[in-house]
Amino acid sequence: MRLFTAALATETNTFSPICIDRKAFEASLYAPPGEHPETPTLCSAPITVGRRVCREKGWTLIEGTAAWADPAGLVNREAYEGLRDEILDQLRGALPVDGVVLGLHGAMVAAGYDDPEGDFLSRVREIVGPDVLVCAELDPHSHMTARRAAAADFFTVFKEFPHTDFVERAEDLWRIAVERLEGRARPVMSVFDCRMIDVFPTSRNPMRAFVDRLYAMEETEPGVLSISVIHGFMAGDVPEMGTKVVVVTDNDRQKGAALAERLGRELYALRGTFMMPQFDETAAVARALAAEKGPVVITDMWDNPGGGTAGDATVILGELIARGARDVAVGTIWDPIAVQICFSAGVGAEIPLRFGAKSAPFTGDPIDKRVRIERLERDAEQRFGDARVPMGDCALVAFDGIEVILNSTRAQTWDHSVFGAMGIDPRTRKILLIKSTNHFYDSFSKIASEIVYCSAGRPYPNDPKTTPYLKARRDIWPMVEDPWGDLANVG
């Protein structure tokens, strides 16, 4: 067997002012054929898992380029088309192949392309023809369009949010691909539109219990190969934005469609109950200061670079400063200019520094302080499972009992190693201020005395009822209260 694999991924917040060019991919991950590291990134696990599977099978794996850019705004047209055509040319050079196994995200939007993944997969299908296997792993915060569903044989999707299972779902992808290639299964895909958009953290019920049921059903339901929920991505202003259920069966599309609809209606019946309780900045800081012990984690959940924002908002930090909070560590605030100034000054220097709140309105005011530069690190990284997440050059500055990590490459807070990378033991601090919606949870829940979800400012369009969409459909909840009419109460 000859298999081709590659990865092309980012998540596009169409409301973000930060555009993505080719340099943004190169800053996060750009690996030409054969140069992908042994450890996977969030959307390139099909490559590293594929290496092991093909080695064990004695199959030939031809690797194409792997490219990932940290989430931001619109992707430059030249950047998308250039990377797309680079991989497609590699695929043409690899022919003939028995299958194409890809790592995608599913929420990319590029200039001139509302559905880049649909465009990319359609071109892959044109190259290999109708009978060659084409499959991909997706992030659940994506858009399941009709075009990409028609072009691929099947998808597997991360089940967990936080996305701790991207390697396991890549293993599912390859397991089903192997069964198809060896003639033991004929995967077909059924998709159900839930007519809603919501946020589905699996760190709490009801989504925890729902996903646990999906795992059990995959083990016990005859002919069911995979069940996934496409959460949707509410910051993507595209025509097919919304929540979907995807069921892959062994050549039983009718069964898959019925199961997808049943599960999708169950999700709809639970709409509005999934999100964790949120506090504004005043209440969040008051709660942290009143805690008897630390570390209390305050997460700035909507200034999350993982959702395409800048990660430079200062609303919560400003409240901490105003309340005289001490023993605080902040990881991170994106400000490459401030980082450059700190590197020029050097470790130990005490300088006046303005940082933060430069990217967009409603992100607070810049912080003006006389700071001491405690540590400088070139090409700093944090962990996320087996992956390494670049933060770029970083500076640790301190003032008034507060330490702030300034980073030059935008990255959400995935793991408490973000602090260790700059010499801070997070367990010893009273308050940890981070930027993430929920990916931080698996790591920080192990060390936190309490986690406080804070909704501060408006860097992210988190209320679909008031978000000024131009392209997204309006016939879904919560934009309308009853998109199903008489069927709304069916569970």
Query: Per-residue pLDDT tens for 71-98?
Result: 999 999 999 999 999 999 999 999 999 9
pLDDT class of 485 with cuts at 50, 70, 90: confident
280-304 average pLDDT score: 97
124-142 average pLDDT score: 98
DSSP H helices, 223-348, are 253-269, 281-290, 315-322, 336-345
Mean residue pLDDT of the chain comes to 96
237 and 150 together in one domain? yes
Asked if the model's pLDDT at residue 458 lies above 90, the reply is no
Asked if the model's pLDDT at residue 387 lies above 90, the reply is no
pLDDT class of 365 with cuts at 50, 70, 90: very high
Asked if the model's pLDDT at residue 151 lies above 80, the reply is yes
257 and 340 together in one domain? no
209 and 294 together in one domain? no
74 assigned to some structural domain: yes
Q: For the chain, give the longest Cα–Cα distance.
A: 68
Question: Domain span at residue 339?
Answer: 281-454
pLDDT class of 54 with cuts at 50, 70, 90: very high
390 and 242 together in one domain? no
For residue 13, count other CB atoms closer than 10 A to its CB. 27
What per-residue confidence (pLDDT) applies to 489?
45
Q: For helices 77-94 and 116-128, what crossing angle results, to 10°? A: 20
Q: Which residue has the tokens 């069916």?
A: 490
118 and 224 together in one domain? yes
181 assigned to some structural domain: yes
What per-residue confidence (pLDDT) applies to 155?
98
Q: Looking at 223, 239, 269, which one is the last position of a domain?
A: 269
312 and 236 together in one domain? no
188 and 332 together in one domain? no
Helices and strands per DSSP (H, E), number in the chain: 13, 17
With residue 378 as reference, give the H or E element that holds it.
strand 367-384
Per DSSP (E only), the strands in 13-59 are: 29-31
What's the pTM? Answer: 0.92
Q: Looking at 241, 269, 297, which one is the last position of a domain?
A: 269
113-131 average pLDDT score: 98
For residue 124, count other CB atoms closer than 10 A to its CB. 22
129 assigned to some structural domain: yes
Q: Give the closest residue to 47 by CA, choosing from 31, 28, 58.
A: 31
254 and 305 together in one domain? no
Question: 50-87 in b/e burial notation, b at 16+ Cβ within 10 A?
Answer: beebbeeeebebbbbbbbbbbbbbbbbeebbbebbebb
Asked if the model's pLDDT at residue 293 lies above 70, the reply is yes
218 assigned to some structural domain: yes
What per-residue confidence (pLDDT) applies to 301?
96
Give SS3 for 190. strand
Number of domains the chain is built from: 2
481 assigned to some structural domain: no
User: Residue 24 and residue 68: Cα distance in Å, rounded?
Assistant: 8
Q: Looking at 223, 240, 269, which one is the last position of a domain?
A: 269
What per-residue confidence (pLDDT) applies to 172?
98
pLDDT class of 386 with cuts at 50, 70, 90: confident
HSE-up of 192 (CA within 13 Å, CB side)? 23
265 and 290 together in one domain? no
423 assigned to some structural domain: yes
With residue 391 as reference, give the H or E element that holds it.
strand 387-399
252 and 287 together in one domain? no
Give SS3 for 3. strand
Q: Give the closest residue to 307 by CA, choosing from 177, 437, 442.
A: 437
254 and 287 together in one domain? no
Q: In percent, how much of the chain has pLDDT > 70?
A: 99
319 assigned to some structural domain: yes
464-470 average pLDDT score: 95
User: What one-letter code names the amino acid at 174?
Assistant: W
Asked if the model's pLDDT at residue 491 lies above 70, the reply is no
Going across the sheet that includes 450-454, the strands are 350-355, 367-384, 387-399, 402-407, 328-334, 431-434, 296-300, 450-454
485 assigned to some structural domain: no
Give SS3 for 56. helix
302 and 259 together in one domain? no
Asked if the model's pLDDT at residue 430 lies above 50, the reply is yes
